[in-house]
Structure 1
Amino acid sequence: MDNKPSGCHQQIVTIDDVFFSYENKHVIEGLQFTVLERDFVGLMGANGAGKTTLLKMIVGLLRPTRGEIRLFGQPVRQFNDWERIGYVPQKNALNPLFPATVREVVTSGLFGRKKLFRRVSKADRQKADDALYAMRIEDLADRRIGQLSGGQQQRVFLARAMINNPELLILDEPTVGIDAETQEGFFRMIRHMHQHHHITFIMVSHDMEMMKSYLGNQPALKDGGLSFYVKHTHEPENCGETNLTHSIQQLRDSMEVLSSR
């Protein structure tokens, strides 16, 4: 089954007859799905259904057994504009001895491979400060990333993924280990980003109530153990601010409101 793209909206992710197997176990078989610009795709399914596997194939960490995935019209294996994509994996396999500080990790989200050695500007530092504050980790800025708890590390990688104002944001269980208040503010922020900014989302979450409250109760596609819930926002952006710092401010404001209750 395929969800057919409509109109002239750009295809951001095209999954074309994709299969994936671990050894002899088929995880994904003949999947066809298209994510259009400014879609919000919620991916749900039981453990082992292939959710994380699919996200890893989209970002090039795994290769399909058969079929092809394209990003912005280019096959993943040829795609080089990774700064256009923000990705938060479910778990970050991090060496606890890795010497980078939290601030350095967050700031590194501004640098694609083409900009790896550019000098950090005053504007870059301000973006990092905003992202740190938004995720409520500003007090951890000078700590080594390997010294943090799993929940704290997840906040750091969320800040890193969002700091560069990506066109496609891929989130695999982004709020695992984060307190309920921060989750509420985070979901409010990404809804604002989807409704008012030119960002496409693919998100895995076990919070079915939250996902369905925004995306609806009926999946656009069910394939094997995977269910794809889709909300389209294809109208032109209607927010005067285009920088992600504005959306991060929405989270900052909501956190202050929650804290004052």
Structure 2
Amino acid sequence: MDKSATLQQAGCHREIIRLDEVSYAYDSQTILSDVSFRIMERDFVGLIGSNGAGKTTLLRMIVGLTRPQKGSISLFGTPAGQFKDWNMIGYVPQRNHFNPLFPATVREVVLSGLYGRKKLFKRISKEDVSRCEDALGALKIRDLGDKKIGALSGGQQQRVFLARALINNPKLLILDEPLSGIDVETQQTFFHMIKHMHQRHNITFLMVSHDMDMVRSYLGQEPKEKSGKLSFYVRHSHDLEDCDGTDLLHSLRKEG
């Protein structure tokens, strides 16, 4: 049996995100116009565009915070407006959206990744605490657990936000400018870590970035598709090693 057939049998080629002629405007100013694109399972998609190109607006629509004024979005084969399994999606926001004076510890921030739309007022269980410790261990920040998030360096904060995004063992990870505001060496370490996750685990990535060199070094020199001011760079991982549903956090800890 050839590799492509094996991949399809393993379920590694399903559609994760589908954008069909998505448009949006603010006060009659067009931000997005007829954007159509598909993201397949185990794709790593780099979304590149200048300021005002609509990158953040598109992410907000994908995670259900904003609805397209025209067109449609589907997640895992379900219309975004009907999608309920938000624990399948991890999200790492821009650091400049974070208040450094927020009085929370690293452990509390990571645990907040469990406070989904269904779990907002649910008590934290022993299993939840165990998941948090797994996430801290996987990202090698367990020693930071009791520190205030605002006291950390930019690179440490990004690891915390990534641990928060991974605590539910997501199938889709969305990263909004994860390399901004941190030094070059930390950028390279962080990007190497998420490349490793893409290559070894059954997880799909959508990353917004201004860093063209770093994106192109992994995803190729030319975008797979352009739409308005947006460019979509894509690389697919064909490694079947972890297409069997292995728990991501446990695997990362073993690899570490």
TM-score range, shorter chain: 0.7 to 0.9
Residue 27 of structure 1 is matched in structure 2 by 31
Q: 1:232 aligns with which of 226, 229, 236?
A: 236
Residue 119 of structure 1 is matched in structure 2 by 124
1:39 pairs with 2:43: yes
Counterparts of 1:171 and 1:107 in 2: how far apart (Å)? Answer: 18
Q: CA deviation at 1:224?
A: 1.0
- The answer (yes or no) to whether the contact 1:39–1:232 under 8 Å persists in 2 is yes
Residue 53 of structure 1 is matched in structure 2 by 57
Counterparts of 2:202 and 2:107 in 1: how far apart (Å)? Answer: 26
What is the RMSD computed on CA atoms of the aligned residues? 2.9
- The answer (yes or no) to whether the contact 1:96–1:146 under 8 Å persists in 2 is yes
Counterparts of 1:56 and 1:114 in 2: how far apart (Å)? Answer: 19
Q: Secondary structure at the match of 2:59?
A: helix
Q: CA deviation at 1:235?
A: 5.3
Counterparts of 2:99 and 2:218 in 1: how far apart (Å)? Answer: 36
Closer, same or farther: CA 229–108 of 1 in aligned 2, 3 Å? same
- Segments of 5+ residues of structure 2 without an aligned counterpart are 1-7
Counterparts of 1:124 and 1:217 in 2: how far apart (Å)? Answer: 42
Q: 1:172 aligns with which of 162, 169, 176?
A: 176
Q: CA deviation at 1:228?
A: 0.3
| Percent of matched pairs sharing the same residue | 61
Residue 83 of structure 2 is matched in structure 1 by 79
1:67 pairs with 2:91: no
Scaled by the length of structure 2, the TM-score of the pair is 0.82
Aligned AA (1:102): V
1:161 pairs with 2:165: yes
Closer, same or farther: CA 247–228 of 1 in aligned 2, 3 Å? farther
Q: How many residues align?
A: 245
Q: Secondary structure at the match of 2:114?
A: coil
- The answer (yes or no) to whether the contact 1:37–1:234 under 8 Å persists in 2 is no
Q: CA deviation at 1:57?
A: 1.0
Residue 222 of structure 1 is matched in structure 2 by 226
- After alignment, is 29-38 or 150-159 more displaced? 150-159
Q: 2:210 aligns with which of 198, 201, 206?
A: 206
- Segments of 5+ residues of structure 1 without an aligned counterpart are 1-6, 254-261
- After alignment, is 128-137 or 53-62 more displaced? 128-137
Q: CA deviation at 1:189?
A: 2.1
- The answer (yes or no) to whether the contact 2:223–2:231 under 8 Å persists in 1 is yes
Counterparts of 2:110 and 2:242 in 1: how far apart (Å)? Answer: 28
Q: Deviations over 1:110-155 (max 9, x none)?
A: 343334414332x543443353355565454234446667665444
- The answer (yes or no) to whether the contact 1:39–1:234 under 8 Å persists in 2 is no
Counterparts of 1:239 and 1:12 in 2: how far apart (Å)? Answer: 15
Closer, same or farther: CA 83–90 of 1 in aligned 2, 3 Å? same
Residue 101 of structure 1 is matched in structure 2 by 105
Counterparts of 2:138 and 2:179 in 1: how far apart (Å)? Answer: 14
Counterparts of 2:52 and 2:128 in 1: how far apart (Å)? Answer: 39
Q: CA deviation at 1:50?
A: 1.2
Counterparts of 1:181 and 1:115 in 2: how far apart (Å)? Answer: 37
Scaled by the length of structure 1, the TM-score of the pair is 0.80
Q: CA deviation at 1:158?
A: 2.1
Closer, same or farther: CA 245–238 of 1 in aligned 2, 3 Å? closer
